[in-house]
Structure 1
Amino acid sequence: MILLHAISFAQEQKTIPSVSLKTVDGKQVNTGSLGIKGPIIITFWASWCPTCKREMGTLNELYPDWKEETGVTIVAVSVDDEKTKNNVPTLVDANGWEFMVLMDSNSDFKRAMGVSNTPHTFLINENGEVVYSRNNYAPGDEDLLYEALLKLKK
């Protein structure tokens, strides 16, 4: 049932919900107006989630090429709560992640996007519409994401 809800969100939800979050360095950001041109990959993750960290490492390796080829921007949304949110900046710095990292400590954006488990990744087109959604991560899933990203270029 949970997976069906996540899939139905991608089919029913047309635009990114507007939620106020903070960047790792404390700046306020509204998810409904990120000011990003081109497609956006939004991935929900947590510092305590090994699968999330594997996906984030893979995305970080691919990001420079994907950005150059498609103009995509990756936004990583940490769902770490008050107990673990202080681990996020250290993890981001230690891994050299080049993409925007937002903090969703109260899970407001997570709930608004219909996310139940991490990692959960969305591809948003230039009109702000969800065109791809995947819950969980296994090696090779990035190829499916890339194929969906390439379809936006056509």
Structure 2
Amino acid sequence: MSTAVAQQKMPDIILKDLENKEVSVKNDFVEKDKLYVFTFWATWCGPCIKELEEMNEIQEEWKQNLNFEIIAVSIDDSRTQKRVKPLVKGKEWGYNVLLDTNQDFKRAMGVVNPPFTMVVKNGKIVYTQNGYTPGSEQELYNKLKTL
């Protein structure tokens, strides 16, 4: 985990969900001791799509043992943002999707390239994972169990 990000607090940034509703990354994900898994992705990122598909398949199983929520943060810019909603609906992903069209959240978190995953607990970042390879989701699950 990057030490610059570890224990960093969430920035006061407002994003929009797929229904154009405003969501505060600092204030709307604050349930005590709940783990919030933010994964930064884009429609043009093949490994991102694979990661989100894998996480969607196993999240119900994980929820039997963990109090957590997945939030998929699209970093698609204005040119590719229109692809996000049809892709998400077509895949039937069962988690919140937020749009970081101006990439303010991405910059605030120091994300260079997707996929990038960070876990937030009690308003602080407690774990980060950069990139995706098959099996990364199991590594993430094992880490979530220790937090």
The reply to whether TM is greater than 0.5 is: yes
The letter of the residue matching 2:138 is: D
Residue in structure 2 matched with residue 101 of structure 1 by the alignment: 97
1:11-50 matches, within 5 Å, as 11=6, 13-37=7-31, 38-50=34-46
Residue in structure 2 matched with residue 66 of structure 1 by the alignment: 62
- Distance in structure 1 (CA, Å) of the matches to 2:17 and 2:63: 20
- Distance in structure 1 (CA, Å) of the matches to 2:85 and 2:62: 24
- Give CA-to-partner distance per residue, 1:49-84, whole Å, 9 cap, x none: 001000000110111122232010000000000000
1:16 shift after superposition: 1.4
- Distance in structure 2 (CA, Å) of the matches to 1:100 and 1:24: 8
- Distance in structure 2 (CA, Å) of the matches to 1:141 and 1:64: 17
1:129 shift after superposition: 1.5
Residue in structure 2 matched with residue 143 of structure 1 by the alignment: 138
- Distance in structure 2 (CA, Å) of the matches to 1:16 and 1:148: 20
Structure 1 unmatched ranges of 5 or more: 1-5
Q: Which has the higher helix share?
A: 1
Structure 2 unmatched ranges of 5 or more: none
Residue in structure 1 matched with residue 77 of structure 2 by the alignment: 81
Residue in structure 2 matched with residue 133 of structure 1 by the alignment: 128
TM-score, with normalisation over the residues of structure 1?
0.89
- Give CA-to-partner distance per residue, 1:72-130, whole Å, 9 cap, x none: 000000000000001000011011101000000000000011101000001112x1221
10, 22, 26: which is aligned to 2:5? 10
1:134 shift after superposition: 1.0
CA RMSD of aligned residues (A): 1.3
The answer to whether the Cα contact below 8 Å between 1:40 and 1:124 also exists between their aligned partners in 2 is yes
The answer to whether the Cα contact below 8 Å between 2:29 and 2:123 also exists between their aligned partners in 1 is no
